[in-house]
Amino acid sequence: LLKQKANSSNKPLSTAQTDTKKKQPPKTTKSPQVPAVNGNGNVVKTKSTNKMDNGSAKDSPPSAKPESKGITVNKNLNGTKSNGKGCKEKKKNGIVVKEKDELKHKRRKAEEHVEQQPKEADIWFDDIDPKDIEAAIGPEAAKIARRNLGLETEQSQSVEKVLVKEKAFDGLTRAVAMDCEMVGVGPKGEDSILARVSIVNQFGKCIYDKYVKPTEKVTDYRTAVSGIRPQNINKGEDFKTVQKEVAEILKGRILVGHALQNDLKVLLLDHPQKKIRDTQRYKPFKQRVKSSRPSLKLLCEKLLNVQVQTAEHCSIQDAQAAMRLYTLEKKKWEAAVKNKANNKKRK
């Protein structure tokens, strides 16, 4: 045996010897004291034979491939080499590969999720409707845009759902609701002139909305309430044009609104009393909220269970709110108007 080992250290290994040595490593690993029995310096030889085993594994690809696979999987999962656990992982090769795929899938999902969420700094659009941003980029971007514009997100959506009928007719209807925003003129800004007119149809769809150029010097924009800023009305439509267009829309139609006498006054228009439906003057509404002059905000809160005018007023939303209050009581309201007209005829 000693002679054979001495010869084998000088000569290249034959295929028969490599085969026998491949079968022997499990025995040598189980009994580490065996090389010490053989004599002096055999310990070094056993180490060299282990090296030769590794070398032979490289030389013979068919038998070495499963071992190398086990080691590479281990490297990828833990990031460190593991010599002793290679055999165990070889047996559990299928499980290790599955776990690896799952980890990759989870990592990819997490990266995609991070990419989808835009940062607040990325959303810098000016004068763009958040609805358009939502359609183009997504709801997260629209949420950030609404926050930057100072608009309520969830609340505004719920209010719109109550006040506007989706997929409804967006043209002129028999009844329309109107609301105006005013700015202050005069020494103390106490007098009012028209700054914006909004008209919606019976389903809450906006059919007219225009800013109006001031006819006098504005001393108080009342922005906190009106939402009007200099740039809005400086580029607005001429008063006479707006007045004419509004008069044409209102002609022969039921006009709905809240405190309509103020809106008609700044428009310098008149409308037949029998065709006006003012939510501030409707007696059943006054009785329900227990107020002689209820505000639009109070009526919406008590009767529609929605909050309007929480910040700057919007003439479109105010018109929609008045129309929704009207449609809520439309049958009773119209019946009461007819009875009143019939009573007058009898007298």
Question: Backbone phi, then psi, for 95, in 5-degree steps?
Answer: -65, -45
Spatial separation of the C-alpha atoms in residues 278 and 267, rounded to whole Å: 17
CATH number of 168-345: 3.30.420.10
pLDDT at 161: 83
pLDDT at 112: 52
> How far does CA 261 lie from the centroid of its chain?
41
Distance CA 298, CA 313 (A): 14
pLDDT band at 256 (very low <50, low <70, confident <90, very high): very high
pLDDT tens, residue by residue, 222-236: 988 888 999 999 999
- Specify the amino acid at residue 22: K
Q: Please give the residue that has the higher pLDDT: either 125 or 106.
A: 106
Check residue 127 and give its pLDDT: 59
On the CB side of 99, CA atoms within 13 Å amount to 11
Buried b (16+ CB within 10 A) or exposed e, 288-326: eeeeeebebbebbeebbebebbeebbbbbbbbbbbbbbb
Separation in Å, CA 282 to CA 8, 271, 294: 113, 17, 10
User: 303 forms bridges with which residues in the sheet?
Assistant: none
With contact defined as beta carbons under 8 Å apart, do 242 and 221 qualify?
A: no
Structure-token match 């007209």, residue found = 341
- Is the pTM value of this prediction over 0.75? no
| Contact indicator for 222, 228 with CB cutoff of 8 Å | yes
Q: What is the DSSP letter of 12?
A: P
Residues 67-113 pLDDT 10s = 444 444 444 444 444 444 444 444 445 455 555 666 666 676 565 54
User: Taking 80 as the threshold, does the pLDDT of residue 257 lie above it?
Assistant: yes
Structure confidence at residue 166 (pLDDT): 85
Give the residue extent of every domain in the chain.
Answer: 168-345
- Mean pLDDT of the chain, nearest integer: 74
- Helix, strand, coil content of the chain in percent (nearest 5): 60, 10, 30
Compute the distance between CA of residue 165 and CA of residue 304 in angstroms, rounded to an integer. Answer: 14
Determine the pLDDT at residue 117.
47
Residue 338 clears pLDDT 80, i.e. is over it: yes
pLDDT band, very low/low/confident/very high, at 5 (cuts 50, 70, 90): low
